[in-house]
Amino acid sequence: MNSAALAVDAEGVVKSFGAVRAVDGITIRVAPGEVYGVLGPNGAGKTTFLRMLFGLIRPDEGTLRVFGRSWDDDGTRVLEGVAGFVEAPRFYPYLTGRQNLVALARLDGGVRPGLIEEVLDTVDLADRADRKVDGYSYGMRQRLGVAAALLREPRLLVLDEPANGLDPAGIRDMRALVKRLADSGLTVLLSSHNMDEVEEICDNVTIMDRGAVAFHGSIADLRAMAPDPGHLLDTTDNAKTLEIAARHQVKTEADESGALHVVGPHDAVSGFVADVVAAQVRLKQFTPTQTPLEALFFMLTNTEAVAR
């Protein structure tokens, strides 16, 4: 696909801050209509890349085009059809949500009649639009940020960690919102450090580690690479459970507390647990420790899982 047909075409992009190479020769290509995730731990270079896309900073090397336009050749025309936010969106806290959107629309040259009501409805803030932003929850402010971006009626929506800092309900609402926007045909580029978020809503993903690319590809490709899932198992007779495990294609290892860490294909683990129960051994605990994609993410980025 040629550069002009791509929503984002970044090739060999490098950005350094002193001795720190924040982005190290990455190549990312986003096709129109897809939901693309840029994934990585904090400090991986995700936000630096998005800042370059918005023209807030310029790359030291490489090329970066948005719908075929570059900052060197086209200046601010790069942002035609592009909207979003880097880090958390900011608003006037003493104004209502609606008043903030009206002010932003005026600063951007105005919007067509009815659009403010449409975007408020899209992000599920229509019934809270006349409350002051100072009283909004963090999740409501994030959704108001998406509404502000949608005022530009963009072809490309760029979101930096849109679910970061949200409670489980807020994360659910944000994922549902991004899915609705994607289903409308909008191209979405989002960054995240949460594998579950990316797996659920993205078509393709780039995983970054220390500024470099650790993986490029589809979610299907990523799933094919993922290791077997792990579980923490504790029973009324762990010694007998270990004997049963020897008859199955699973790996088991006892920790300091005596509980068992079990790793293996889903069918093998299910058969093993069924035999444990059939042997009159009662389960005290059986919980997943990591999803397969989480385990792969930690492997690719050389980071460790946070204990649950």
> Does the model's pTM come out above 0.85?
no
pLDDT tens across 167-205, in order?
Answer: 888 888 888 888 888 888 899 999 988 777 778 888 899
Taking a C-beta distance cutoff of 8 angstroms, is the pair 200, 192 a contact?
A: no
pLDDT value at residue 233: 93
3-state DSSP helix/strand/coil percent for the chain, to nearest 5?
Answer: 40, 30, 35
Quickly list DSSP for 68-112. TEEHHHHGGGGGTTEEEESSS----TTSBHHHHHHHHHHHTT---
CB atoms within 10 A of CB 151: 20
Whole-angstrom distance, CA of residue 185 vs CA of residue 179: 10
pLDDT, residue 3, reads 52
CB 137, CB 169: distance < 8 Å: no
Top CATH class of 230-290 equals alpha beta
Six-digit token string for 271: 């058969």
pLDDT for position 256: 82
Domain boundary assignment for the chain? 3-224, 230-290
| CATH 1.10.260.40 is the classification of domain 3-224 | no
Q: pLDDT tens across 78-90, in order?
A: 999 999 999 889 9
- Sorted by sequence, the CB contacts under 8 Å of residue 99 that are 6+ apart come out as 92
Whole-angstrom Cα distance, residue 240 to residue 112?
71
Report the C-alpha gap between 205 and 189 in whole angstroms: 10
CA dist 118 and 100 (Å) reads 15
What are the residue ranges in the chain where pLDDT is below 50? 305-308
Report how far residue 203's alpha carbon sits from residue 130's, in angstroms, rounded to the nearest whole number: 36
Q: What is the DSSP string of 196-255?
A: HHHHHH-SEEEEEETTEEEEEEEHHHHHHHPPPPEEEEEES-HHHHHHHHTTTT-EEEE-
Burial class, 294, CB count within 10 angstroms (exposed 0-12 / middle 13-18 / buried 19+): buried
Q: What pLDDT, on the 0 to 100 scale, is given for residue 199?
A: 81
